[in-house]
Amino acid sequence: MGYSGVRGGMSAILAAEGLVRRARDHAATPWASTEQILLRFRLAVDRIMGEAGLYDEAIAADAFRQAEGDVLEAAHLVRAHRSTLPRLAVSEPVEPAEMVVLRRIVSAHRTPGGPQLLGRTTDYTGRLLERPDGPPPAADDAGAQVPPERTCEQRHPGRFSDLLRELDLLVEHRHGTAADPEPVDVAREPARPPAPRSAVLASMARAETGALVGLWYRSILGPDGAVHEVTLGELRHGRLPLRVIHPHTGNPVVVGVFRATEAEAIEDLDGADEDRTRFDIGYGMCFGHNERKAIAMANLDIAHRRFGDEGSLEQLLLLTTDGLDSGGFLEHLKLPHYVTFRSMMDRKLAGREARGTDDPNPRLPEPFGKEC
């Protein structure tokens, strides 16, 4: 929808786009290459891939540059690009235990099986703004602390949830997969309530991160406003293999690797009809390095299972957290709505005339506002 009804029409639209391109592509600073964006804005690139549902770092970086840093707009560009790509094959299910772990945090246990791997993070340093003064400092490789080499076993640690299962402290949900054998492809089929767990998880994996975090925060607040007990069991970020079936041999072959973030949340069961001798566990996984989304997913997975039938949580998860849906509806408010609003004004004035409380022939301002 363009401003065809406004003075200027298509020429105004082209001029507006020209302003964006001129400021973005011909700025005084050098052009930001795809490689620079991947190195300097990796978390934004990962978030774009997750919300677009396409794992392609270069495409996400190009969209980030074209959108001038607007992550939601970049995800929109990538999702539109994805719709033009052919589907050559369907990947095989991946076993999360195959992940080559780059970062692993177990908040619920001091000495879990396997190492705690802090990885690349600033979680444990103060939030102090660093203002660059002059050229960036040269890398001091001699004074830098070299991370220790990790063995294959350390890069594939066991799960903390397995320890809880051995102690018979977890409610088992694996048998429930019989009712949801094939994961729902939300890219081809929109998920609508009631939906299987795979559709809810897939929708959350593509959801806008801020919307998901906001919904999670609301879900853990009780009627008294207090935050209910929430425990992060384990958080991982690493590389997973991508396999497809070879068209000639029929055997699975690895065609690439992708990075993902995985989280397991633990919640204390205290309901009247729940097994209070055990914990419940929720799961979240998303593309790239996006720990906020994975943690929110894992906790909302539990909330959906425990309270999804009592309220509108499933509707919120499926229908309101997609950034392109909600953002698109919001963005369309910037398009011309003067005909609709003029009809609303006419109804208001007609109602006044029927009650005899105003001038029966009011003069409407035409056009609205002054011309410069």
For residue 355, pLDDT beyond 60: yes
Domain membership flag for residue 306: yes
Same domain? 34 vs 113: no
Run of H or E residues at 281: strand 279-287
Q: Are 78 and 112 within one domain?
A: no
User: What token pair was written down for 316?
Assistant: 């919120």
- What confidence category does residue 2 fall into, taking pLDDT thresholds of 50, 70 and 90? very low
Note whether 188 and 280 are same-domain residues: yes
Q: Within a domain: residue 370?
A: no
Among 63-72, 102-111, 333-342, which stretch is predicted with the lowest mean pLDDT? 333-342
Residue 76 inside a domain? The answer is yes
Q: How far is CA 305 from the centre of its chain?
A: 20
34 part of a folded domain: yes
356 domain-assigned = no
DSSP labels, 152-168? HHHHSPPPHHHHHHHTT
Query: 25, 55, 82 — which closes off a domain?
Result: 82
Domain that holds residue 69: 9-82
Hey, which of 122-136, 230-244, 271-285 has the most confident mean pLDDT? 230-244
Longest dimension (CA), the chain: 86
* Domain presence at residue 22: yes
Q: Tell me if 23 is assigned to some domain.
A: yes
Q: Indicate if the pLDDT at residue 55 is higher than 70.
A: yes
Residue 107 lies in a domain: yes
- pLDDT of 256 > 90? The answer is yes
Provide the pLDDT confidence category of residue 300 given band limits of 50, 70 and 90: very high
Q: Are residues 112 and 22 in the same domain?
A: no
Total number of domains in the chain: 2
**60 and 164 share one domain:** no
Give the whole-angstrom CA distance, residue 244 versus residue 86: 15
- Give the number of other CB atoms < 10 A from CB of residue 132: 7
